[in-house]
């Protein structure tokens, strides 16, 4: 979908989109069209349930006296209330609407939408386009027999707004973030016979084209470093494990700040291993690399928009399979940290991957902070559902920043507790730590406590995104499937707090 900004209406869009505020108050442009069409918009509003509430749409098809095939009236809510997220969602819903009705070229007349609000018209217009682009994502490469009538139609979206150059400039940056989100969605959507540690590594390597330095640790190298926790998870698979280190160095030369670190769980398929999962829904476990996918997409976003900051992304990539060579319940492994781990349940594998990845990251890079992302526990879905991720942290300031960034981009995260009593639940009788807690109690917390044992004094936060990496329903800016959750959140965390 091609997105452009102009100050004047293009000659012949086939869909003309205009706004109406709450209580059916037409915007200036809408009022003009209403006049030209003999009051068709006013009649359409009263003939429908359209009140002008946000994200409502009503169409006037084949209006007399206009070249456009349809006029779409879009609800804006009360004047001055539409904000960044609201307008992103409007852009997203609009794209879905236009594709549903078969529009090919649409123009949105953005006039006075921002009046009385806090955000400038060009910035809001850019965010409308950003939402539109985010929603336009599709993963269709394996559909070979799709009927033309079920394919999306919208090929071009023109945003007619004041300050088109400024809007374009703001959008340019957001568009690079969307590139990162799309990359994550692609990686998460790919099946596990296509994306496994070696091929996911190859995908990460494509970022070197944007100036990201990509370094790959093979199993031999990992073994030398003592990463037996991660290697143990991968040992049942015929696919080799990998650890990938991606570095973006965008900080001004004089900057002496330590870099920021992001660590991702990349289990390219999680069968559970010998503690095998039930068959129903197991296909979902292709997206158990959603944390790694988000870190890779984040690196793409940061490099794409030339972020002025030094960042490292570390992803641990393994496939968790049952086989004759698979790790057994009861096995004890010595992690890179030197701590021994008793494996009680081979399905609690993500924390084993992260244990070595976190330890490696903090000892090698001494980062300013580490944030890990992982589809770590079903228990976080029990606790929070599929509306927000859990955040666990040893640093209140970092946790607060993550919560704020999540609010700002519409990827909410909810602070979860840590504590000594949970920590005790993972003491092992024969090793330093075991990989599960008591029964199923506080499952997402004991998982986070496990990670904390592999973090020293480094400020750290863990995002349990098990409920967020995949969606079964379309929402504003996120079509169903891989969501790319985490990319926008962490891009915003960095932009708002750390970039100079
Ligand atoms: N990858 C799963 C967690 C998960 C579940 C992610 C559902 C997305 C949707 C993780 O590796 C796992 O299996 N966790 C176990 C831990 C248990 C064995 C302590 C779980 O949550 O059941
Ligand atoms: Mn598992
Ligand atoms: Zn898993």
Q: What angle do CA 241, 266, 477 make, to 5 degrees?
A: 150
- Distance, in Å, from the CA atom of 252 to the CA atom of 298, rounded to the nearest integer, reads 20
Q: Is residue 168 part of a domain?
A: no
**Residues 296, 184: contact at Cβ < 8 Å?**
yes
User: Does the beta carbon of 464 sit less than 6 angstroms from any atom of ligand 1?
Assistant: no
154 with 89, same domain: the answer is yes
- CA Rg value for the chain: 25
In a domain, 265, yes or no: yes
Residue 121 is assigned to a structural domain of this protein: yes
Count of structural domains, the chain:
2
Closest CA to 79 of 118, 49, 47, 105: 118
Residue 259: domain span: 178-497
Is 170 within the bounds of a domain? no
User: Cα–Cα distances in Å, from 115 out to 27, 75, 162?
Assistant: 11, 15, 12
285: which 2 tokens? 């476990």
Answer whether 466 contacts ligand 1 (Cβ < 6 A). Answer: yes
Check whether residue 21 and residue 130 sit in a common domain: yes
3-state DSSP assignment of residue 329: coil
**237 and 116: one domain?**
no
Ligand 1 pocket: which of 318, 378, 382 to mutate (most atoms within 8 A of CB)? 378
Question: Which whole number is the average pLDDT over 452-481?
Answer: 98
The least confident of 216-220, 437-441, 448-452, 462-466 is 437-441
Final residue in a domain of this structure, among 136, 161, 186 = 161
**pLDDT over threshold 90, residue 259:** yes
Nearest C-alpha neighbor of 244 from the set 203, 216, 207, 277: 216
Q: Do 243 and 387 reside in the same domain of the chain? A: yes
Which ligand is the nearest neighbour of the Cα of 376? 1
Distance from the alpha carbon of residue 432 to the mean position of ligand 2, in angstroms: 21
CA–centroid distance, residue 346 to ligand 2 (Å):
7
Ligand 1 pocket member 348 (CB < 6 A): yes
> Quick check: is 243 in a domain?
yes
Q: Are residues 332 and 435 in the same domain?
A: yes
Ligand 1 atom at minimal distance to the Cα of residue 447: 19
* 166 within a domain of the structure (yes/no): no
Mean pLDDT, rounded, for 161-168: 97
Nearest atom in ligand 1 to 379's CA: 21
CATH number, residue 15: 3.40.220.10
Instruction: Pick the atom of ligand 1 nearest to 378's CA.
Output: 21
Cα distance between the two ends of the chain? 33
Helix 350-365 / helix 443-452 crossing angle, nearest 10 deg? 30
Q: Which residue, by CA, sits nearest to atom 8 of ligand 1?
A: 466
Give the CATH number of the domain where residue 226 resides. Answer: 3.40.630.10
Based on the domain organization, do 151 and 261 belong to the same domain?
no
Please give the order of strands across the beta sheet that includes 433-434.
Answer: 332-334, 340-342, 433-434
Ligand 3 centroid–CA 301 distance in Å is 25
277 is catalytic: yes
Indicate if the pLDDT at residue 11 is higher than 80.
no
Whether 351 is catalytic: yes
Instruction: Please give the distance, rounded to the nearest whole angstrom, from the Cα atom of residue 193 to the centre of ligand 1.
Output: 20
What is the atom index within ligand 1 of the atom nearest the CA of 443? 19
DSSP designation for 475 = B
Ligand showing the shortest atom-to-Cα distance for residue 443? 1
- Lookup: tokens for 457: 């004094």
Residue pair 240/234 in contact (Cβ under 8 Å)? The answer is yes
Q: What are phi and psi of 44, to 5 degrees?
A: -65, -40
- For the segment 334-385, what is each residue's pLDDT rounded down to a tens digit? 999 999 999 999 999 999 999 999 999 999 999 999 999 999 999 999 999 9
How far, in Å, is the centroid of ligand 1 from the Cα of 430? 24
Q: What is the pLDDT of residues 216-234, one digit of tens each?
A: 999 999 999 999 999 999 9
**Which candidate in 351, 401, 453, 488 is catalytic?**
351
Phi, psi for residue 244 in degrees, rounded to 5: -115, 135
What is the predicted pLDDT for the residue at 150? Answer: 84
Binding site membership of 345 for ligand 1 (Cβ less than 6 Å): yes
**254 vs 279, higher pLDDT:** 279
CA–centroid distance, 261 to ligand 1, in Å, is 24
Single residue among 161, 187, 202 that ends a domain in this structure: 161
Please work out whether the CB of residue 375 comes within 6 Å of at least one atom of ligand 1.
Answer: yes
pLDDT per position as a tens digit, 296-323? 999 999 999 999 999 999 999 999 999 9
Is the domain of 256 the same as that of 313? yes
Whether 187 maps to a domain, the answer reads yes
- Same domain as 420, residue 339: yes
In degrees rounded to 5, what are phi and psi of residue 17?
-105, 125
Per-residue model confidence as pLDDT tens digits over 487-496: 999 999 999 9
Tokens standing for 344?
Answer: 């009680």
Buried residues in 143-162 as b, exposed as e (16+ CB within 10 A): eeeeeeeeebbbebbbbbbb
Residue 337 and residue 295 share a domain: yes
237-257 as b/e: b if 16+ CB within 10 A: bebbbbbbbbbbebbeeeeee
What's the predicted TM-score (pTM) here? Answer: 0.98
Q: Is the pLDDT of residue 256 over 90?
A: no
State which of 230, 271, 272, 347 you would mutate to test the pocket of ligand 1, scoring each by most atoms of that ligand within 8 A of its C-beta.
347
- The verdict on 133 and 227 lying in the same domain is no
In percent, how much of the chain has pLDDT > 70?
100
* pLDDT at residue 24 in the model: 97
Output the residue whose Cα is nearest ligand 1's atom 7. 378
Of 161, 195, 229, the residue that ends a domain is 161
CA pair distance 418, 159, nearest whole angstrom: 47
Cα 112 to chain centroid distance, Å, stands at: 31
CA proximity to 180, closest of 298, 338, 18: 298
Supply the angle between the helices 487-497 and 290-304 in degrees, to the nearest 10: 50
Does 167 reside within a domain?
A: no
User: Whose Cα sits closest to atom 13 in ligand 1?
Assistant: 347
CA angle 464, 292, 398 (to 5 degrees): 50
Which member of 24, 78, 205, 277 is catalytic?
Answer: 277
Ligand 1: nearest atom to the Cα of 272: 13
Q: How much of the chain is helix, strand and coil, in % rounded to 5?
A: 40, 20, 40
Q: Supply the residue whose CA is at minimum distance from atom 3 of ligand 1.
A: 377
The closest of 242, 233, 332 to 275, measured between CA atoms, is: 233
Q: Strands 260-270, 213-217: parallel, antiparallel or unpaired by DSSP?
A: unpaired
The alpha carbon of 93 is separated from its chain's Cα centroid by a whole number of angstroms, namely 18
Same domain, 312 and 374: yes
Residues 336 and 383 in one domain: yes
């Amino acid at each position: 979908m091609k997105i452009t900004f102009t100050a004047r209406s293009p000659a012949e869009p086939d869909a003309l989109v205009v706004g109406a505020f709450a209580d059916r108050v037409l915007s200036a442009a809408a009022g003009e069209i209403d006049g030209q069409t003999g009051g068709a918009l006013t009649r359409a509003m009263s003939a429908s349930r359209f009140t002008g509430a946000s994200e409502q749409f009503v169409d006037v098809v084949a209006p007399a006296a206009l070249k456009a095939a349809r006029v779409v009236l879009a609800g804006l809510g009360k004047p001055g209330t539409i904000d960044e997220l609201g307008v992103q969602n409007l852009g997203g819903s609009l794209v879905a609407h236009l594709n549903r009705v078969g529009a090919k070229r649409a123009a949105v007349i953005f006039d006075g939408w921002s009046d009385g609000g806090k955000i400038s018209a060009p910035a809001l217009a850019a965010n409308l386009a950003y939402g539109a682009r985010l929603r336009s994502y599709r993963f269709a490469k394996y559909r070979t027999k799709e009927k033309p009538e079920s394919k999306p139609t919208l090929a071009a979206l023109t945003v007619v707004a004041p300050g088109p150059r400024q809007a374009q400039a703001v959008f340019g940056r957001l568009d690079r973030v969307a590139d990162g989100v799309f990359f994550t969605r692609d990686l998460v959507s790919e099946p596990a016979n296509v994306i496994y540690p070696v091929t996911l590594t190859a995908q990460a390597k494509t970022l070197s084209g944007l100036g990201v330095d990509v370094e790959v640790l093979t199993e031999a190298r990992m073994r030398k470093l003592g990463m037996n926790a991660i290697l143990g998870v991968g040992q049942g698979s015929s696919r080799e494990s990998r650890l990938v280190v991606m570095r973006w160095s965008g900080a001004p030369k004089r900057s002496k700040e330590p870099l920021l670190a992001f660590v991702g769980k990349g289990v390219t398929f999680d069968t559970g291993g010998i503690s095998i999962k039930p068959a129903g829904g197991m296909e979902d476990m292709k997206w158990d690399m959603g944390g790694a996918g988000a870190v890779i997409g984040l690196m793409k976003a940061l490099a794409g928009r030339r972020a002025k900051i030094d960042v490292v992304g570390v992803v641990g990539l393994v496939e968790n399979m049952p086989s004759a060579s698979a790790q057994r319940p009861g096995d004890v492994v010595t992690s890179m940290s030197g701590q021994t781990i008793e494996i009680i349940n081979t399905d609690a594998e993500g924390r084993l991957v992260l244990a070595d990845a976190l330890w490696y990251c903090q000892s090698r890079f001494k980062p300013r902070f580490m944030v890990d992302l992982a589809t770590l526990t079903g228990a976080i879905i029990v606790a929070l559902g599929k509306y927000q991720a859990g955040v666990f942290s040893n640093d209140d300031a970092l946790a607060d920043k993550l919560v704020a960034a999540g609010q700002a981009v519409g990827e909410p995260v909810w602070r979860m507790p840590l504590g000594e009593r949970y920590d005790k639940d993972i003491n092992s009788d024969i090793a330093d730590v075991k990989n599960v807690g008591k029964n199923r109690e506080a499952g997402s917390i004991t998982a986070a406590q496990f990670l904390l044992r592999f973090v020293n004094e480094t400020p750290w936060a863990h995002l349990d995104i098990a409920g967020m990496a995949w969606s079964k329903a379309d929402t504003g800016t996120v079509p169903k499937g891989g969501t790319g959750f985490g990319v926008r959140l962490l891009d915003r965390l960095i932009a708002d707090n750390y970039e100079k």
